[in-house]
Amino acid sequence: MRQQLFAGLLLAVSALLLLSLVLPGLSLAQGEVWRGIPVAPENRCSPYDRDDYPYSQSVELQIIAREGGQICSPYTNECFESRFDTDIEHIIAVSEAHDSGLCAASAATRAQFASDLRNLTLASPALNRTQKRAKDAADWLPAQNRCWFARQIVTVRRAYSLTIDRREADALDRVIAGCSPLNLASIAWEEIYPSIQEIYASVQVFSAIFRESARLRRRGGRAADPHTRPAIQLQLRQGLFRNGLLRGSPVPVKPVQLHTARRRQ
């Protein structure tokens, strides 16, 4: 059974890799979309005001928590002694997003974008303020983790229906072409089946619950330690999160209650 499951997953990854290489070329040839993102020149359809994109400084603590407490920048793999040594950095700059479609968005959507953890990371003040600034991927790429950088841009642009100009699409294609098969599969996975990761995670969680239930029945239906199930689910979700198979936060969900019948005495 496990061999069949592994073979199925290998086949799916191979198909996604093929699609990730073929679909972008077809889309660009049409001049309409790139990896599900509309291709269009930047357009400032309304005046840009940075105050229209508010976010709380507390998001920095959320970024650090997401990284397991480490205060590091994926752009350089540099780590810092204090969060006060870093800047909160928008992967897609706010002004870039404004000119890519958010200029017509509501105030709530703009605020949501500004605080979206998928588009937030940490960087040194020098890098954030003098090197990257408001540049897109056509004009600036990080020294480290470029495949991750490209994946986040694709994910966030799709999430907010942002456009992308041709220069940036070409630059990201050059990055993606050099990514490992797993990174390519991850990008294709996000493009074609945006809900598959959540479904897969749910299946894994319920599979763990089923195995525990079966174990309890074999042991005579004795009730489980109430602290056991949340711990199992938390470890599982953290593992999926670390391996990129689960988006969002690795914090546990509300434990699912198991009902196991006790044997009559």
Q: Which of 220, 230, 228, 227 is nearest to 261 (CA)?
A: 220
pLDDT score, position 262: 42
Say which DSSP state 221 is in: S
Position 111 pLDDT exceeds 90 = yes
**pLDDT tens, 36-92?**
999 999 999 999 999 999 999 999 999 999 999 999 999 999 999 999 999 999 999
SS3 content of the chain, % helix, strand, coil (to 5): 55, 5, 35
Report the SS3 class of residue 97.
helix
* CA 227 centroid distance within chain: 30
Q: Which of 120, 118, 125, 115 is nearest to 78 (CA)?
A: 125
Q: CB-based contacts of 116: which residues, under 8 Å, 6+ apart?
A: 156, 159
Task: Look at 13-22, 174-183, 196-205, 229-238 and tell me which has the smallest mean pLDDT.
Answer: 13-22
Position 223 pLDDT exceeds 70 = no
Residue 246 phi, psi dihedral angles, 5° rounding: -145, 125
pLDDT score, position 178: 92
**pLDDT tens, 159-212?**
999 999 999 999 999 999 999 876 666 666 555 544 455 566 666 666 776 676
Report the SS3 class of residue 256.
coil
Q: What percent of the chain has pLDDT over 70?
A: 58
